[in-house]
Structure 1
Amino acid sequence: MKIYVYSILLCWFFVSCGKKDRIEREIREIPVDIKVTRFDKIFFETAPEDLEKIKKEFPYFFPAGNDDQIWLEKMSNSQWRELYGEVQKKYSDIDPVKNDLTALVQHLKYYFPKTKTPKLITIISEMDYTNKAIYADSLVIVSLEMYLGKEHRFYEFPNYIKQNFEEKQIMADVVSSFSKRKITPDVSKNFLSRMVTAGKELYLKDLLLPEYSDADKIGYTPEQIKWCEENENYMWRYFIEKQMLYSDDQKLTSRFVGPAPFSKFYLEIDNESPGQVGAWIGWQIVRSYMENNEVSLQQLLELNAKEIFEKSKYKPKK
């Protein structure tokens, strides 16, 4: 009997791998030509007297009501120019980023056929870590100053934030931005809905960034992924015993779903835990749902969290 079950599992594994390989071959054949505009270079290499020209060409980077002196000061300020110099050292060749975006857009077109081929625009912004990369239908805007490497001397951020200031995170951040357009908001605002919504975003990364590790998809270190895997059963029991799943307590988002230095169980394990463990659990629920139900990706993104959870057959690994 054991041999029979093992044989079935082995066959299923090879069929599954074969299907994934076929899909990836089809994706690689999708024609995509990404155009790149280095606005970071255009801005800092433009003479002050020509400011008006680039304002007309790129009006969306110059909000109405701002005095030109703001932009002229930025062009000549020594600290901004030093930052520009660091960006050029790191990204003198933008082709690796372009190639990564090309592969991502091929996946987007496969799973979302109406996707337009966006133009890649690189900028140097205000070090806003909440908007490092923006997907805007026909544009992908990347703030290169936010991807200089977590150890860069310019970064005065907590470790849990700057650990994702790596080039590898650019496409993960683009998918996060893209997902906001595709995931139907859940009318319920309880803890379960917030976990599952985060889980949908991470599941999109499973499909759109298949070469990425789980750590890169969620922005963890390998050690943090291992912690979640080893403590999955404990975390789930905690959520159940505390009757959190259908709680509307908004503080649960900051405790367990949003980026944070650690999750707040208010126990000794807090300092060992990474932030976002609720998002990680939501990810496992969505994965389990997709393994146990025949639904399209579009249907998944539209379904409410309660239905996904109830049909997921999710059981934490012990």
Structure 2
Amino acid sequence: MALKDKGNYLCRYDNIIMKYIKFLKIVIVFCVLWSCAKENKIEKEIAAIPVEIGIERFDRIFADVTEENLADVKMRYPFLFPEKTPDSVWIQKTKDTIQLEINNEVEKAFSNFSTEKEQIQSLLQHIKYYFPEVIVPRVITVTSNVDYQRKVILSDNLLIISLDTYLGTDHHFYSGIQSYLKGRFVRDQILPDVATMYAKQLVELPRNRTFLANMIYYGKEMYLKDLFLPGFLGSQKMAYTEDQFAWAQANEEEIWRYFIDRQLLYSTEADLLPRFLYPAPFSKFYLEEIDQEAPDRVGQYIGWKIVSSYMKNNNVSLRQLLLTDAETIFNASKYKPVR
């Protein structure tokens, strides 16, 4: 081929490449705009769902309990007063110095709960969009002597939130509690915690004991939280700091390779759950250079990514997802960790 012909050929080739790149850019922009338009349409439909809630500040009501009004308060909130506990115990508690300090600290932190009220209302609209049968609950705020094992209780038509477990990481009430737990005792975690409780009610427990089944169980929970809390960060949904979430994102491929190389997916070893799925100071890879940096629950993060990939690559409904077993989800997910 003559030099002139080669030059013409290369120019034509370059033009084709440039046109192809331009076409790809147009396609990408169109897809983004279409996706945004679809999301906006869904959000408009969600916003139109009639949900009205009130916030019953039982924390304040109990702070004002006296011998004269105790009977009336018990009649209004019988589920908060065990029958076998005599009235004298409740009256004594209202005068207890620790309870008085809790009352004061909660009132300082939550003198205004209007933002949370709006957020809970929006959360319930999102939940009812996907699951219309869900009942709008009575929302009640309480104090619980910092019972961080039960920060949020969802039972029947009751949603109970313990405000004294959301006073901030450095609050002196939490001085004896491990740091990895205290990081979640912040106001911004109220909504993700409420969403978690609803997700737990909607997702069936794993059908077998494999590590994969448990990862997918948590992945389903996280996928529901994605739908319920579209305006929240991934770090908030995982109850991670931003640095912890960034670490999980940056090391997704290495985490996955570790699970695969050690053939953990179908293992039923009980210690895998506390190592990679349950709250802990860190995920236990038993590799010194990693364990010092890895956040806890990285198995939940991977499960979330697998379920998201499954829903992206398969035309299935949300209810079908919840009924599908872990192995089917994994095999059809086409999951590839982000490099």
TM-score interval, normalised by the smaller of the two chains: over 0.9
* Aligned partners of 2:65 and 2:91 also within 8 Å: no
- How many residues are treated as equivalent by the alignment? 318
- Counterpart of 2:293 (choices 272, 296, 302) is 272
CA–CA distance in structure 2, aligned partners of residues 243 and 215 of structure 1: 28
Paired residue for 2:208? 188
Q: Distance in 1 between matches of 2:25 and 2:269?
A: 45
Query: Whole-Å Cα distance in 2 between the matches of residues 310 and 9 of structure 1?
Result: 28
Give how far 1:302 is off. 1.7
Structure 1: how far apart are the matches of 2:231 and 2:87?
A: 44
Tell me whether 63-72 or 136-145 shows the greater mean CA deviation.
63-72
Structure 1 residue 64 displacement after superposition? 3.0
2:267 is aligned, of 247, 252, 265, to 247
Residue 283 of structure 1 corresponds to: 304
1:29 aligns with 2:48: yes
CA distance in 1, matches of 2:183, 2:301: 17
Question: In the aligned structure 2, how far is the partner of 1:151 from the partner of 1:136?
Answer: 30
Distance of 1:92 and 1:131 partners within structure 2? 22
SS in 2 for 1:122: strand
The question of 1:294 aligning with 2:311 is answered no
Deviation track 1:50-94 (CA, whole Å, cap 9, x = no partner) reads 323222221111123233343222211011111110101111112
Q: Any idea what the Cα deviations from partners look like across 1:276-304, whole Å, max 9, x if unmatched?
A: 00000001001101110111111111211
| Partners of 1:118 and 1:138 within 8 A in 2 | yes
Q: Secondary structure at the match of 1:272?
A: coil
Letter of the structure 2 residue corresponding to residue 283 of structure 1: W
Q: Is the 8 A contact 1:48 1:75 kept in 2?
A: no
TM-score normalized by the length of structure 1: 0.96
Deviation at 1:126, TM superposition (A): 2.9
| Runs of at least 5 residues in structure 2 that lack an aligned partner in the other structure | 1-19
Alpha-carbon displacement from aligned partner over 1:21-45 (angstroms, at most 9, x marks no partner): 1111111122211022111111110
- The corresponding residue for 2:277 is 257
Q: Give the alignment partner of residue 206 of structure 1, picking from 226, 242, 257.
A: 226
Partner AA of 1:295 in structure 2 = V
User: Helix, strand or coil: the match of 1:116?
Assistant: coil
Identity rate, percent? 43
| Cα distance in 2 between the residues matched to 1:220 and 1:266 | 21
> What's 2:170 paired with?
151
- The higher radius of gyration belongs to 2
**TM-score, length basis structure 2:** 0.90
2: CA distance, partners of 1:9 / 1:135: 42
What secondary structure sits across from 2:173 in the alignment? Answer: coil
Q: Distance in 2 between matches of 1:307 and 1:128?
A: 38
Unaligned ranges ≥5, structure 1:
none
Name 1:215's counterpart in structure 2: 235
Aligned pair partner of 2:155 in 124, 136, 159 = 136
**Cα RMSD after superposing both structures:** 1.4
The alpha-carbon deviation at position 135 of structure 1 amounts to: 2.4
**1:87-135 deviation digits (Å, cap 9, x = unpaired):** 0111111211111111111111111112222221000013121211122
Determine the C-alpha separation between the residues in 1 that align with 2:247 and 2:308: 19
The Cα offsets for residues 261-287 of structure 1, whole Å up to 9 and x where unpaired, read as 100000021010000000000010011
Deviation at 1:5, TM superposition (A): 4.0
How far apart, in 2, do the equivalents of 1:227 and 1:290 lie?
A: 24
Q: Distance in 1 between matches of 2:31 and 2:333?
A: 19
How do residues 307-318 of structure 1 correspond to structure 2 at under 5 angstroms?
A: 307-318=328-339
> 1:210 & 1:103 partners in 2: Cα distance?
10
Shift of 1:191: 0.5
Q: What is the CA deviation profile of residues 169-199 of structure 1, one whole-angstrom value per residue up to 9, with x for unaligned ones?
A: 1111111111121112221121111111111
Structure 2 residue 185 is the aligned partner of structure 1 residue 165: yes
Residue pairs, 1:104-115, within 5 angstroms: 104-115=123-134
State the partner residue of 2:107: 88
Partner of 1:174: 194
Question: For residues 217-244 of structure 1, what are the alpha-carbon distances to aligned partners after superposition, in whole Å with 9 as ceiling and x for unaligned?
Answer: 0000111111111111111111011111
Deviates more, 1:9-18 or 1:91-100: 9-18
| 8 Å CA contact retained: 1:98, 1:120 | no
- Partner in structure 2 of residue 72 of structure 1: 91
CA distance in 2, matches of 1:186, 1:79: 41
User: Hey, what's the Cα distance between the residues in 2 that align with 1:7 and 1:313?
Assistant: 26
Q: CA deviation at 1:12?
A: 2.1
Q: Which residue of 1 aligns with 2:15?
A: none
Q: Which amino acid aligns with 1:281?
A: I
3-state SS in 1 of match to 2:149: coil
